[in-house]
A and B are shown apart, each in its own frame.
Chain A
């Protein structure tokens, strides 16, 4: 069974640089997370909660879908029972 989460990508690194080369620490402080968590997010090692995703998007003045992207490759994962 494919892991749907592996299809979630984010543009946090690019957005940080587009926003005055914002540091990971600075972004972390804005959204209530540690620098290590921002690093893990950028590396795709961690997928944030909806709340943190909204906070990150808000920090960049963008929508959630502008920061996080779901690349649906093999159709929806849920099937009718």
Chain B
């Protein structure tokens, strides 16, 4: 298993852990600013970057870079599609002339969820491309 695949699995694990913790907090504390603290768990996604390989300064070869680029692009595309969907849905449901007022914590939570979506799609795409080949 390559380091990129290990990173992808680790990241998926962190995302699952964060989601479980989030919904647990929401169940116990209710939906609000306090529940947002669990998003700090996402910092764990940076742990593999300080792995032994990284400290040794071993770089990625062209295939790894290609897969990494494709995976990141897939993640950003997924985020873009969801963003467009949310904008359209909000417009249709609330009406295009409606005014929305949301608390800051909700805006922050939206950004955290978007980051999780990008990371999740990036991780899954990384795993798929390593299995099927980056030319798939």
B2 contacts partner chain A, Cβ-Cβ < 8 Å: yes
Complex Cα gap A49–B63 (Å): 9
Cβ-neighbour of B61 out of A5, A34, A43 (below 8 A): A34
A45 touches B134 (CB 8 A): yes
**A residues near B2, Cβ cutoff 8 Å:** 34, 36
User: Which among A32, A43, A46 has the greatest number of chain B C-beta atoms within 10 A?
Assistant: A46
**A residues near B135, Cβ cutoff 8 Å:** 5, 45-47
A52 touches B134 (CB 8 A): no
**A residues near B61, Cβ cutoff 8 Å:** 28, 32-34, 37
Shortest C-beta distance, B66 to chain A (Å), equals 8
A71 contacts partner chain B, Cβ-Cβ < 8 Å: no
A interface footprint on B60-94 (CB within 8 Å = 1, 0 otherwise): 01111000000000000000000000000000000
A63 contacts partner chain B, Cβ-Cβ < 8 Å: no
Known: A34-B2, A36-B2. A48 touches B132 (CB 8 A): no
| Contact residues of A between 1 and 52, Cβ < 8 Å to B | 5, 28, 32-34, 36-37, 40, 43-49, 51-52
Known: A34-B2, A36-B2. A46 touches B64 (CB 8 A): no
B133 touches A40 (CB 8 A): yes
- Interface residues of A, Cβ cutoff 8 Å to B: 5, 28, 32-34, 36-37, 40, 43-49, 51-52
Q: Rank and list the top 9 A-B pairs by shortest CB-CB distance, nearest first.
A: A45-B133, A33-B61, A37-B63, A36-B2, A37-B61, A46-B63, A34-B61, A49-B62, A46-B134
